[in-house]
Structure 1
Amino acid sequence: MMKRSPERGLFSWYRIFSVFWLVVIALQWIDFTEPIWLKQTTSITSATLLTVAAVEMLPLRAVWRWLLKAVIVLFVWRIVLVGYGVYVPEGRFFPDQLQGMAQHFTPYIWFSLSTWALFEIALELLTSKKRVLLFLAADLVAFAILDSFTPYYLWQNVAWTVFAGLGWLVSLHFRVFQLKYPHGWNRLWRQPLKIGANILAIFACVLLLGVNMPTVSPVLTDPYTAWKNRTGGSGGGVVPAAASVGGTVTFLAQDEVISGYSRDDTELGGGFEFSYGLVMTVDTSVRSYWRGETRRNYSGKGWSDGEEEGRQYDIYEGPSTGEVLMPEDTPDPGKLETMRVEQTITMQNEEVYPVLFGGYSIGGAEILDEDFENSATMMWAPKEAELHWSPVMELASSSYEPDRRLYPQKYKVVANIPLIPLEEVRAASFDELYAGAETNEYLQIPRNFPERVSELARQVTAEGDTPYAKMELLQAYLRQNFEYTNKPDLSRKESEDFVDGFLFEIKQGYCDYFSTSMVMMARSLGVPARWVKGYAPGTQPNYENMQRFGEMDTAYRVNNADAHSWAELYFGDYGWIPFEATPGFDAPVMYEQEDGSIVTSVDLTQSGGGAAAEDAGLLDWISPKALRIISFSALAILAAWAVYRLRSALYYGFYRLRLGRPLTLSEKAVLETQRLLRRLRHRGYSRSGDETLREAFARWKLEKPELQAALDGLLREIERASYSPQAFSESQWRIVRELTRKLNLQTRKRTKWRFAGRI
């Protein structure tokens, strides 16, 4: 028969400490995943962990703790996801909002529930020194591997894990000592400051050394890095991206559908696996989407390629002079002011791309690759704002060398980042924006385009008075009502049209689904739109690491998983403005305020601006950070309330820890009376040092005769508890509690009367 652990189901100081140390370790993993996960995923996971841990520390029965956890975690889900705009409450709480929450909380709640489950499993299993040591070893080995083989700097995470591990082991050691040697624990408890000061000093030294350890470059190269460098940085698993066939470049498809820059967009849909192979690094002062190509002709299944659409090119070829090329046919920016930003792109693979990438509209380029010093072929399409790189001419020339690379490894582009006057363009009407404009090619819609898509677009944007306001409503609708996934359930699809199937049947997908729907719904409303593909900004080393290590590269790291598509909408003299309909992505658009200041789209979202701000609810005006503070404050208030309600249990629990054994009923009666005497002293019922309890009670009865019955009954029971050789019974203990409560209430009324009399 399995022996039941004395800790299970009991509330003790060790339970509180073990929860605390486990939370510290878990937060290190959440800190590691922060650059990988969406912000809302990190927030909801952190809030769930802290909520569950706080409730676990309460001295409640297990069933009440589980119930309380479920209720508060549900509340946290709502607070965080509403704060991030993932879900907008509509209708009554039951059943409208409950149904809405069930649809929009995924996939975030799965991360939350997984965190909760792992926390509970770890807390249940880690009950011995051997298990805790194995758990810590697994954590440290995992952090060491990630620190060595990834760009993440995890030494501080290791230091905090070691700190928490030592704390956990010390706590466990003291708990075992308390259970095994209760008398020795009592003697140890009499000198808590001396023991605690030594422990804290050791912990502080470990933590300070770990956090402030200087970085040291590795003396040896680890085997994985050496093998990776030997295979050209690909890791040994990349099929060559391009091959020469009959004087043209044909891009080879991968056997496995993985994320990356799309080569064929004629038939969109399906699923894919994320690939995190590094594509390029971008050194720039302004965060941006790295724009590649645009498409304008929609077939109902996808987008026609550039050759079918046709392009007018300005061709540049010859030696690189070191000067930035400025195309003569660059479109007039109209009413828009632009910010000139230089961006240096360094490719990290051997693939050949059809374009040179850059932030927004490229105004010029300079090749920095030595292999292309004397020959660089670029084709500028000013209408589409695309800078094509063509190795075709070089392939056809007699001087072509088969082993020579076909794509520059490093180049610099000059991007003209528009500064959009948001209030001005938001107020512009259809006539002001499109009167006399020739935009029919960007309003193309197939003949068999489903009418219900157009009708849905009209319904969603009905409250918008201007084109820009309508597009904000449309963008918000797509972001808030459809699920992002890289593997949509295609079994739901019945419609032959890609957009129609997404909006009404599949209702989930990735960027191609959202961006194509945004473009086509905008066109159905008369707003010119085009589809753009390229890369999301990627990741940049965090500020703390850049401050600490001056030699750290600050460039954005863009990998295959950052491949992305979005919509650009045309607003007359204000030009093409990016719109991001995909949840979890934020197009880094720059807006010029009326006071001349520059803000980004992310700043506007966090400050309560953006789509449909006038109709936003109370919580939508609060930033996600403020919402987290509110939720944590609410949990603190709940914890304080629970402590107040359970103050008696905590009071006796403290003395139980001091004694190292359960309290007898007579001891509880004495402690309860002592607590009452402390309260009475603050209410004016003084007792001199040489006065016995019987004498004090007699004097108080003369001052306040209505207290006589309660004082006599309590005195009788407390003398039995203190001096009688017979065991104090449960019924007597209930009498003591009832009398102390009665006296507490009677004397509280007396205090109010005395205060009123003074007035």
Structure 2
Amino acid sequence: MEKCICGGEAGVNSSRGFAFILYTLGFVLLWEWLLPLEQITQTSEVHYFIIFVVVSLCLNFFQAPWFVTWPVKGAFILYALFSIFAGGLGPFPWFVHFFNEIRANAILVLSRDWLDLTPLFRSLLFFLLLWQITYLLRYWLTIKRKIFVFYLMTIFYITLLDTFTEYKADRAIVRIVIIGFTLLGLLFFKRMLEKERMSGQYQLMLRWMVPLAAMVSFGVVIGYLSPKAAPVWPDPVPFMESKAENMRGTGVSKIGYGIDDSQLGGPFINDDRVVFTVTTPARQYWKIETKDLYTGKGWVTSNQRVAPTAIQYGDKNPIDLSPSNHPVREARFEFDIVYPHVVRPYGFLSIEKDEDKTGFLRYDLNLDKISPFTIDGNEARLNKYTIYYRPASYSMKELRGINDLPKEEDYSGLKKQYTQLPETLPERVHDLARELTDEYDSWYDKARAIEKHFQTGEFSYDQTRVAIPAKDEDYVDQFLFDTKRGYCDNFSTSMVVMLRSLDIPARWVKGYAPGKYKGSAGDDYRVYEVTNNEAHSWVEVLFPTMGWVPFEPTKGFNNPTTIINDEQTGSTSVSASNEESTESIESQPDEKGSEAEETNKDVIVKELKVAKFFYKYWGAIGLAIIVISLTAVGLLLSRDRWVPRYLIWKFKKRQEESAFAEAYETLLKRFDSFGLKRKPGQTLRSYAAYIDRHFDSEEMSQLTERYEKLVYGGGKASAEWEYSRELWENLIKKTRN
């Protein structure tokens, strides 16, 4: 009988030719994963990945040891990355750049900023992924003799691409079916030959392969050419798009900043992508626009249009009426995601464009929004700009002295515009607002009372379990009395509507929360990073002599606006010294907000310490990570070589009574991990016979007989182990690759 040799490439390789066929078919199957990349992604150097797969499979085919495969694969990866990303740099400068990128991306990985990883680092990770896949492919083809899982994953992957991308997989599906069924048939027949230990396996395989390939090919051709009925199920893509459109129509929130607020409600999906980074002296809200018409479902802009005002770069245009004696400060913006609008702080004075000085801006009074345009009047998008502003501050005494608008005609129009409410608004919304504010006279105290109402335990901040109002249901009424659960849109809209029900002019504001503190920029300037998660909405109330004053009802958020407590001194003037020495009422968070802020500070401090330590010792840390990773991967990949040696060393000098039983159980586990699994209910003798057929020996049966004699006959374990150690070691050695 033909002897079966276990180890290396399949446990049993009667022919290099058969192994070559398996590797070739496996490569073609894996190739189908790489072919669509150039079409559906921005990857333009797919041939490097294909060559890497070929090299990896060739090394596996020739059973090259790890100390050969690792340097070869590593050198090819570095060569490919250099060829793709060098950009004219020499080898040494590029290697310096390469390690700097590894360091920078390691920081991003530690901070979980997956979306900001550089293309070079992503390509490196993809090469390492292919490295692991080729190893698994070898394991599936030549050791397990089973490829069904990988085949099923390939079909699923290709059909998803065909359904949801522009990739057309008609021919790919045909190729995959031919290759997959051929592989499944060959591996099944090979397992059967090994199990039955039939002679002349090579000739039998050849006789099996030809009709198998012909049968599969014939079936595929017939299926491809045959007339086909119309699909039973509709195309899912138009169905999903229509459903998504319907969801948008019923108020599902968008990720980050959007312009359509006509349908509010529904879950909010987090998005950690950075929108912009701003360097400024202090944290504050970043305003974009306002909305004035509440529909019962969301916000739109009314038809009370005023022609936009042109603004030139560098010209002083104090848009915000907010008295302050603060010195002029700067906010320097750098955008990762560019929009056709300007993000600005309160107290705006002027804007300077950091790029070319051409073009102009338009200020839309209806939206309180600034938008950039080219010199030809086309919409523009600014990557960088600097805004000069005077930080806003407000006198509490003056705020509390206001309980109505002046009787001038200009104010009557504003009051009508910003106290608008739909006729369908339930009366209980007005009743609740009146109940909360009856004891107060000034607009400011009424606004504060409503603001504080949302900080009670009745309401909770939630981004996922947020209801969408039904067709006949009001968005604010649902939140105030039914769900009491939501995010900024729910809180801010509800406060505006309640204020308007009291005849207090208020409007809904959109922009971004202050962002995450990222460090100092010198000269009292700080860097803040603002992501899509910071997209936010809040409230503004109109005070005739103070302008639009911001309020923050959303639970867990703190209003950075400065309110000067000047009632005790009797002074209504605003000064820098007063502002710095007097604590703002608005900045006083509730207990939960304070705890959240302290937690955030602790997290920031810890992150800064980690980042500082990493920057200081990045070389040693990086080298240690590389060494540990390579060692771990090496031990994992070569475990079939060193585990048997370790087990032999472990049991070599053991003489105690339990040594034989423990060694035998370890051998069973080793065979199981090697792929020679024991069937449920199978006796030890039957399993031993199966092992002996696989290795063409009688050692497992002899060892099992002695083990049963020990267990059932009550023999002396140490004596049996001394006598049986050589058999056990021979069997353990057979599991080495």
Q: Structure 2-normalised TM-score?
A: 0.43
Q: Structure 1-normalised TM-score?
A: 0.42
